[in-house]
C-alpha cells in the first residue's frame, strides 16, 4: 500500500486562501492608519508582498478588499440545512447567528475594522445597497431550496428583514466600539424584530 499524501490542489487552495487573507489584513491596516481614499492598490500590494497584478487576481477593486468575505455563502448553506418546519425568519435568524459565531470567533478585530470602514467611508457605504440586494436574493434562494413550497415574495421579505436587522446590529456594535459580543447584539436585534422574543409569530 502506498503512503497517502495531501493532494496538491488542497495545498494550492490553502496557499491562495492565505495570500488572500494577507492582502486583506494589510489593506485594512493601511485603510485604518491613512484612510481609504488615501491608500492605493500599489501600496496594499507592496505591504502584502505581492505584485500589483496578483492583487487584482484576488480582488477586482480596492473596495472589494473591504467588502469581500465568505460569510454569505456560509449563511446560505446553513439556511438550506435548517429544519423545514421552521418559519423563514426563524431559519434566517438561526443561520445568521450560527454563521456569525463562526466568523466572529476567528476574526473579531478584522470584522470590526471592515464594518467601521464601510459605515464611515462614503464610497463603500454607497455600494452597500447593491451588495445587500445580491445577498437578499441569495438568502431567498436558499430558503426556496430548503422549502420549495413557500411563497417567493414572502421569502424575499423575510430575507430583507433579516438583513436589515443584522445591519442595524452591526452599526450599533461599531458605535459601541465592539465592547459587546456581536452575536449577542444581533440576537437582541432579532428579539426586537420578533416581539415575543423567541422568533415565533
The tens digit of pLDDT for each residue in 93-111 reads 999 999 888 888 777 888 8
User: How much is the mean pLDDT over the chain?
Assistant: 86
Q: How many CB atoms lie within 10 A of CB 162?
A: 26
Task: Give the separation between CA 143 and CA 71, rounded to whole angstroms.
Answer: 16
Task: Give the separation between CA 156 and CA 88, rounded to whole angstroms.
Answer: 10
pLDDT digit string, tens, across residues 107-150: 788 888 888 888 888 888 878 777 888 899 999 999 999 988 88
Task: Give the separation between CA 115 and CA 31, rounded to whole angstroms.
Answer: 12
pLDDT digit string, tens, across residues 160-177: 999 999 999 999 999 999
Grid coordinates of 106: 476567528
Mean pLDDT of 190-195: 88
User: Is the pLDDT reported for residue 4 higher than 90?
Assistant: no
pLDDT digit string, tens, across residues 60-85: 999 888 887 778 888 999 999 999 88
Question: At how many degrees (to 10) do helices 88-120 and 152-175 cross?
Answer: 40
Amino acid at each position: 500500500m502506498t503512503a497517502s499524501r495531501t493532494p496538491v490542489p488542497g495545498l494550492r487552495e490553502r496557499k491562495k486562501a492565505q495570500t488572500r487573507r494577507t492582502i486583506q489584513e494589510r489593506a485594512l491596516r493601511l485603510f485604518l492608519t491613512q484612510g481609504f481614499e488615501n491608500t492605493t492598490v500599489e501600496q496594499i500590494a507592496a505591504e502584502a508582498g505581492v505584485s500589483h497584478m496578483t492583487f487584482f487576481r484576488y480582488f477586482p477593486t480596492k473596495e472589494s478588499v473591504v467588502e469581500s468575505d465568505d460569510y454569505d455563502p456560509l449563511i446560505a448553506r446553513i439556511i438550506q440545512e435548517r429544519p423545514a418546519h421552521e418559519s423563514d425568519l426563524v431559519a434566517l435568524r438561526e443561520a445568521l447567528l450560527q454563521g456569525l459565531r463562526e466568523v466572529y470567533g476567528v476574526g473579531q478585530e478584522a470584522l470590526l475594522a471592515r464594518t467601521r470602514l464601510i459605515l464611515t467611508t462614503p464610497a463603500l457605504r454607497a455600494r452597500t445597497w447593491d451588495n445587500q440586494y445580491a445577498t437578499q436574493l441569495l438568502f431567498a434562494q436558499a430558503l426556496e431550496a430548503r422549502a420549495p413550497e413557500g411563497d417567493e415574495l414572502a421569502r424575499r421579505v423575510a430575507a430583507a428583514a433579516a438583513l436589515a436587522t443584522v445591519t442595524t446590529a452591526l452599526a450599533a456594535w461599531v458605535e459601541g466600539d465592539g465592547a459587546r459580543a456581536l452575536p449577542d447584539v444581533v440576537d437582541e436585534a432579532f428579539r426586537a424584530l420578533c416581539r415575543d422574543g423567541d422568533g415565533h409569530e
